[in-house]
Structure 1
Amino acid sequence: MADRGFDLEDRLETLEDDDLKRSLSPVDRVAERGYFADPSGGDLPVLDSAEALVFASNNYLGLTDDQRVQDAARGAAATVGTGAGASRLVTGDTLVHRDLERLLTEVKGTDRALTFSSGYAANLGTITALEPDVVFSDELNHASIIDGCRLADTDTVVYDHCDAASLRSKLEERARTAAQDGRDPDAESWLIVTDSVFSMDGTVAPLAAICDAAEEFGAWVMVDEAHATGLYANGGGVVQAEGLEDRVQVQMGTLSKALASQGGYVAGSAALIDCLINDARSFVFSTGLTPPAAAAASEALHVARHSDVRDQLWENVAHLRDGLESMGFEVWGDSQILPVVVGDRTDAIALADGIREREVVVPAIRPPTVPEGTSRLRVVPMATHDQDDIITCLEAFQAAGEEVGVL
């Protein structure tokens, strides 16, 4: 009888041969420094004896080990419970969820907000619930947006990265093609979707120009603020920094990065949120966000709005960028994410390894995650790194860069 199963060993061997196989390296805590363990498969990990500085996390404000945030999570676990216990449409809708959504609504300048179990679920659920006829998507949008378009079975038109002129030409082309085919382009529902801050390039979308193009053609705009929420004006994202709340119909984001928790959210009109509660399958058929996660995100959002953590982050970003560029490294982006472009994948891996040998953790990002010839190290400081930490990171880059021959 034929074996109709799957040759997993062959798949893994191919990944190994292509230098693409990934593994898990546990760490003792999520913070600006920690003790790491080598990949251990299913065995218990053995932590390294040396503590490493972490410049690889999305914990931008360093709030995962903030006492206020941890106390909020403990308090919710003690008073509400450790888990939601069911879909929020059944018994999993708690006052802790409602409090977080109230704060998100206030920060995002919308009628209402709705939390999901993950940012991935928020994007999938929103795009599939809206059922757009056409999605115009930035070419570097997150995988959850791409998968949401696939699951919605919508026509997806990809425009050049952060290029409002390319978007406008795609909108014009779609309208023209529809008219030539005898279809009424005004009868189609159009959704423009973009990240605000792009996680691998550090670039920031030209949201005002995107809104201009959308309004000219009657399209809706959906902005994924996963890597921006909590970091900009009043703890909001790029939408808030640019005052575009009234021009962006769907604001999405995560609680798992700057807000030091887990989950995702969507903010918008009351009608949008009611539709998502009823039609977003990733909301309807998922157990609600855990109360401790909701409470932790609420407190982290409060800290982001009412303390100096955002200023500390941006000071560290400026110091690190200046130092890397003064050494001769090419640093892309306009945000807290600093991609140090090396080009060759072998050099990028060697540079990351050399930096790791100096007890600094910075990942090498290589194809297929990024295009050929643009392999890079994704460097991200936290608000909780002090100046000595920044200097240590820069010294590691200098020494490893000279050793590898990229400086």
Structure 2
Amino acid sequence: MTDRGFDLDARLAERERAGLRRHLRPAESVAARTRFADDPRGGAPDYGEGRLVFASNSYLGLADDRRVQRAAELAARSVGTGAGASRLVTGDTGLHRALERDLADCKGTERALVFSSGYAANVGTIEALSPDVVFSDELNHASIVDGCRVGAEETVIYDHADPADLRERMAARAADARGDGSETDEDWLVVTDTVFSMDGDVAPLDGICDAAEEFGAWVMVDEAHATGLFGDGGGVVQREGLADRVDVQLGTLSKALASQGGYVAGDEALVEYLLNAARSFVFSTGLAPPAVGAARESLRIARETSRADRLWDTVEDLRAGLEAMGYDVRGETQVLPVMVGDRDDALELGDRLADLGVVAPAIRPPTVPEGTARIRVAPMATHTETEVDRCLDAFETAGREVGLL
């Protein structure tokens, strides 16, 4: 009989040969400094020396903040540890509604809707809108890519952060669709991240909105790496004053807001439609109340304190120090890509940094294009000056050992 099963050992071996196999490394905590263990394969982790973490998306350093922990504990005690069901059944609580009101206020929209993850929000929203054509930035996150695969009739990729190329592709698509000279009645959606997680750059939203409006398309943005950091805790849309030009604002609660989940913010009709039609919302248990409570408190802290200012000061200190050594540091946000180029050099640099007590792993193809391997440095607002100096010292020592400096 023909074996029609899956040879997973062979697939893993191929990943190993290609240098693409990954391994879990449990962390003792999610703080700016913690200890790591090799994968215990179900056993108890054997933690080693503590290391400074410059690779986390907990940009505001709130994941171990006592105020956020208390909010999560209070939510668990007063509401429960889990929602228990889809929010359309019995899993909708006053706590969920309070967070959604806060998000809508922060984002300048009529309403918001919380999903179980940012991934679910992206896939569910695109699938529910079911556009005839999505125009997607070539470096958009995998969750957007998967949403397009599931929900779009056709996906057109435009050059990264290039409104002129977007406009050209929309014009070409319009010309093809009109054929006989009549206007097309297709539904078009333009989708982009605002802060790109591997390059640290920001989408030119004003130009993207101009192009979309010229052709009557909707604009959807993913603020995953921006929520809580710009514009009174909102994101790049708020910093740029574009809330009235962006139809769908989406983001996560799991990065700067130190919790779990995703959200969509927009007008009343959008949210009411999504809670009826987005399968990843309808058929998922509601977000756990402790996560809701933690996200709400983190959003409050982001909006009412100077925590983000502390982050930007740390970002500038790191950038200046790395560039002074001779490193090529890209981006313009809290994500600092230290460009290396060669994959093996980047992997060796990441390993040497780890040996020196700094967690800042290499990012290599296929996550990034060939020849652009890098170290992705992501500081937290809670890193001290001493810890930043230690990180810089490690980069200088490791860079000389690898031959990059």
TM-score interval, normalised by the smaller of the two chains: over 0.9
Offset of 1:43 from its aligned partner? 3.1
Tell me the distance in 1 between the aligned counterparts of 2:152 and 2:44. Answer: 42
Match of 2:394 among 378, 396, 400: 396
Instruction: Give the % identical residues.
Output: 64
Alpha-carbon displacement from aligned partner over 1:330-354 (angstroms, at most 9, x marks no partner): 0111110000010000000000011
1:234 is paired with a residue whose SS is coil
Tell me the distance in 2 between the aligned counterparts of 1:358 and 1:280. Answer: 46
Tell me the distance in 2 between the aligned counterparts of 1:277 and 1:41. Answer: 39
Tell me the distance in 1 between the aligned counterparts of 2:246 and 2:303. Answer: 22
Tell me the distance in 2 between the aligned counterparts of 1:140 and 1:153. Answer: 18
| Contact 2:134-2:152 within 8 A present in 1 as well | no
Tell me the distance in 2 between the aligned counterparts of 1:298 and 1:364. Answer: 33
More displaced, 225-234 or 151-160?
151-160
Alignment of 1:2-401 (within 5 A): 2-48=2-48, 50-180=49-179, 182=180, 184-401=182-399
Tell me the distance in 1 between the aligned counterparts of 2:347 and 2:9. Answer: 25
Tell me the distance in 2 between the aligned counterparts of 1:215 and 1:179. Answer: 18
Offset of 1:186 from its aligned partner? 3.0
Offset of 1:184 from its aligned partner? 4.7
User: Which amino acid in the other structure matches residue 94 of structure 2?
Assistant: L
Offset of 1:2 from its aligned partner? 2.0
Could you list the runs of 5+ residues in structure 1 that have no partner in the other structure?
Answer: none
| Contact 2:96-2:289 within 8 A present in 1 as well | yes
Tell me the distance in 2 between the aligned counterparts of 1:44 and 1:76. Answer: 29
Aligned pairs, how many?
405
Taking structure 2 as the reference length, the TM-score comes to 0.99
Tell me the distance in 2 between the aligned counterparts of 1:184 and 1:129. Answer: 27
Alpha-carbon displacement from aligned partner over 1:122-141 (angstroms, at most 9, x marks no partner): 00010000010000000000
Alpha-carbon displacement from aligned partner over 1:265-316 (angstroms, at most 9, x marks no partner): 0000000000001000000000000011001000000000111100000000
Offset of 1:176 from its aligned partner? 1.1
User: Which amino acid in the other structure matches residue 292 of structure 1?
Assistant: P
RMSD: 0.9
Tell me the distance in 1 between the aligned counterparts of 2:362 and 2:45. Answer: 23
Tell me the distance in 1 between the aligned counterparts of 2:271 and 2:343. Answer: 44
Tell me the distance in 1 between the aligned counterparts of 2:304 and 2:47. Answer: 36
Alignment CA distance shift 1:179-1:91 (3 Å): same
Offset of 1:78 from its aligned partner? 0.2
Taking structure 1 as the reference length, the TM-score comes to 0.98
Tell me the distance in 2 between the aligned counterparts of 1:297 and 1:28. Answer: 22
Tell me the distance in 1 between the aligned counterparts of 2:45 and 2:366. Answer: 29
Tell me the distance in 1 between the aligned counterparts of 2:24 and 2:164. Answer: 41
Alpha-carbon displacement from aligned partner over 1:230-275 (angstroms, at most 9, x marks no partner): 0001111000000000000000000000000000000000000000
2:184 is paired with a residue whose SS is helix
Tell me the distance in 2 between the aligned counterparts of 1:154 and 1:390. Answer: 48
Offset of 1:179 from its aligned partner? 2.0
Tell me the distance in 1 between the aligned counterparts of 2:296 and 2:42. Answer: 35
Question: Runs in 1 of length 4+ with deviation above 6 angstroms?
Answer: none
Tell me the distance in 1 between the aligned counterparts of 2:186 and 2:106. Answer: 32
User: Which amino acid in the other structure matches residue 28 of structure 1?
Assistant: E
More displaced, 102-111 or 36-45?
36-45
2:82 is paired with a residue whose SS is coil
Could you list the runs of 5+ residues in structure 2 that have no partner in the other structure?
Answer: none
